[in-house]
Amino acid sequence: MTAVRITKCDGKTFADFIVAGTYFLRKYRSVVNDLNVFPVPDGDTGTNMFFTVRSAMIEACKVKSREIKVVAAAAAQGALMGARGNSGVIISQMFRGFAHAVRHKAAIETIDFATALDEGVQAARQALLKPVEGTILSVASAAANAAFKSAVSEKDFYSVVHAVVSAANEALEKTPDQLAVLKEANVVDAGGQGFVYFMEGVVRMLPGRAPYTTAFPRKPIRAATFTTRQKVDVNRYCTEFVLTDATIDADSFRALLLPQGDSLIVAGGEGTIRVHIHTDFPQRVADSAREHGVVSKLKIDNMEEQHNVLVVDREAKPRGIVAVVPGEGFVKIAKELGADVSVLGGATMNPSVKDLLVAVNKVLAPVVYLLPNDKNVILSAREVGALTDRKVVVVPTRTIPDGIAALFALVNTAADAQPAPEELLAESTVAVSGSIFAAGRDASIGGVAVKQHQLVGAVDARDGRPERLIDGDDAAGIALAMLRDAGDASLLSLYYGANRKLKDAEAVAETVRAANPQLAVEVYYGGQASSDYVISIER
């Protein structure tokens, strides 16, 4: 504990909090990654959370205003745009709920902080169809309760956040009792741990000094570590104008413009509002502004003049497809099945909401089918629709074999048809979707024990059966065991990864064919980094 007291948190302090939390998460992201237990080495929760809060931090630090409502809104937008994986989306919803709670405030006190934290947790819970206890949600809920209890009598932010960290830590220790899969692996929840680290970073911060100068021995250089921005091909127009005789207040106007771009600043009041936004639709922004006042000093700059993404002489088609795929081989397969744009993703690096948005905006079609093909990308995919003028139809495909089945279903509909996602999923005949990989660590799941580096199979949850490990002497043995697990099957597709050769895959296929003469066995290059083989067994 420190003798320094902070009793007011304005936008600047809030941004400092985020910087501190981000720094801590960056430092410990690999610890969080290692906690990620199933199916064995998914290993990206820490990285996902770090990228998400980093994006929040970048936007928060860009804001000139000292008002927390402005900074929190920018952070929320940043988190949303940078959200990766489930944990990232959950974090971004927390930021969003927090920003909503402080939307009228220039600065907050501890009790406001507690209320805002609670609203953040509620927002995250609402974003999930089925909130699961024993995860980051339980940890964050405990944190919010502790914040409230403490803030009732305590005005100092350090004391309150300290109470938050203690309570979050306690809740984290309980997660193995709430979630059997954690218990078996003897770990705490990775997302919950990430949340604790972030809050711990906040506690370690000292006002007036950057946290890393005192808290940590290794000193990252701020400019190089935190502020480099990737160039992206969305929101290319820096648009600025002044709205006079405004019939709308700045907050409502901000809310109106928020979905239209990023780096949004809406400042002013009393009938005059100044707007700065990076958008792809400057005229639309200006037009919508004209409904609420007189637009002047309109300035539109193309930030990437040389980078013309849209080929204008190409005809828009009625429907486009974006698929997230785990490897180069799958890019070709998806393209052949009609995908306009593929986004490389996969278990080790989930694409951010922004990556998905860029891909969706590349498609020259008013309706875009988005196939996440990974259960950890579905939530991010669902956020894209609100950020683009295209109609985004998310087909919640949980694995790449599901995605290929959905592409087949989609390609078999008329070019202008808009089948519902459920219809496409219902067409699937996938009985088993799984993978074969070298275990990243010793683990025991569902009674199957594996040693590090041992080849093991994992079958994804389906038809009410949970995810499970499949044992076998070698890749062919595991494939045959999966086949037995599948029951009736007519087709087994083997997609070999980047670390395998065609002849390895052919040898596995030959063994499977020899044991199942009636079965069609097909071998394709998938190019995924996360596994040796992706296996799809269809009825």
Interface residues with another protein (CB under 8 A)?
A: 329, 332-333, 336-337, 408, 411-412, 429, 490-491, 493, 520, 522, 524, 538
DSSP labels, 503-530: HHHHHHHHHHHHH-TTSEEEEEE--BSS
Identify which of 164, 158, 160 has the alpha carbon closest to the alpha carbon of residue 6.
Answer: 158
CB of 365 to another protein, least distance (A): 17
Q: Residue 412 CB, nearest distance to another protein (Å)?
A: 5
d(CA 107, CA 95): 16
**How many residues are given for the chain?**
539
- Given the complex with another protein, which of 316 and 411 has the nearer CB atom? 411
Nearer to another protein, 23 or 495 (CB): 495
Nearer to another protein, 370 or 409 (CB): 409
For residues 39 and 403, which CB has a smaller minimum distance to another protein in the complex?
403
CB of 180 to another protein, least distance (A): 36
Pairing of strands 520-525, 491-496: parallel
Angstrom CA distances, 498 to 350, 475, 533, stand at: 18, 15, 9
Q: Could you tell me if 241 and 301 are in contact, meaning their C-beta atoms sit under 8 angstroms apart?
A: no
Residues 60, 54: Cα–Cα separation, whole Å: 10
Q: Give the integer Cα–Cα distance in Å for 16 and 57.
A: 9
* Minimal distance, residue 538 CB to another protein, in Å: 7
Give the 3-state secondary structure of residue 141.
helix
Give the DSSP H or E segment for 443: strand 443-445
Comparing CB distances to another protein, the nearer of 56 and 521 is 521
d(CA 478, CA 480): 5
Strands (E), 383-478: 391-394, 430-438, 443-445, 448-450, 455-459, 468-470
Measured from the CB of residue 491, what is the shortest distance to another protein in angstroms? 5
Least gap, CB of 222 to another protein (angstroms): 46
CB of residue 400 to another protein, shortest distance in Å: 13
The Cα–Cα gap between 298 and 288 comes to: 13
At 195, is the secondary structure helix, strand, or coil?
A: helix
Least Å distance between CB 503 and another protein? Answer: 18
Which residue number, 214 or 490, has a Cβ lying nearer to another protein? 490
Q: By C-beta, is 207 or 338 nearer to another protein?
A: 338
Amino acid at 315: E
Min separation Cβ 339 and another protein, Å: 12
Spatial separation of the C-alpha atoms in residues 4 and 169, rounded to whole Å = 24
CA distances from 57 to 51, 60, 171, 203, 243 (A): 10, 5, 26, 17, 28
Q: How many CB atoms lie within 10 A of CB 356?
A: 29
Q: 449 or 520: whose CB is closer to another protein? A: 520
Packing angle between helix 282-290 and helix 250-257, nearest 10 degrees?
A: 150
Backbone angles phi, psi at 300, to 5 degrees: -120, 120
Q: Tell me the HSE value of 436 on the side-chain side, using a 13 A CA sphere.
A: 28
Tokens 């080495």 sit at which residue?
41
Are 109 and 10 in contact by the 8 Å Cβ rule? The answer is: no
Closer to another protein by Cβ: residue 147 or 509? 509
Closer to another protein at the Cβ: 43 or 329? 329
Contacts of 96 (CB under 8 A, 6+ apart): 76, 79, 80, 120, 123
Tell me how far, at minimum, the Cβ of 423 lies from another protein, in Å.
15
Smallest separation (angstroms) from another protein to the CB of 520 = 5
Q: 427 with 408: CB under 8 angstroms?
A: yes
Nearer to another protein, 281 or 408 (CB): 408
**Identity of the residue, 310 or 417, whose beta carbon is nearer to another protein in the bound complex:** 417
Q: Cβ distance 431 to 538 under 8 Å?
A: yes
Least Cβ distance, residue 390 to another protein (angstroms): 24
**Minimum distance of another protein from residue 211's CB (angstroms):** 50
| Token pair recorded at residue 31 | 């610890």
Given the complex with another protein, which of 176 and 401 has the nearer CB atom? 401
- Residue 69 token pair: 């409502």
For 69, 252, 273, 277, the CA distances from 292, given in Å and listed in that order, are 22, 11, 10, 17
Sheet holding 341-344, edge to edge: 341-344, 319-325, 367-371, 391-394
The rounded distance, in Å, linking the Cα atoms of 430 and 497 is 20
Give min distance, CB of 508 to another protein, in A: 17
Tell me whether residue 305 or residue 315 sits nearer to another protein (CB atom): 315
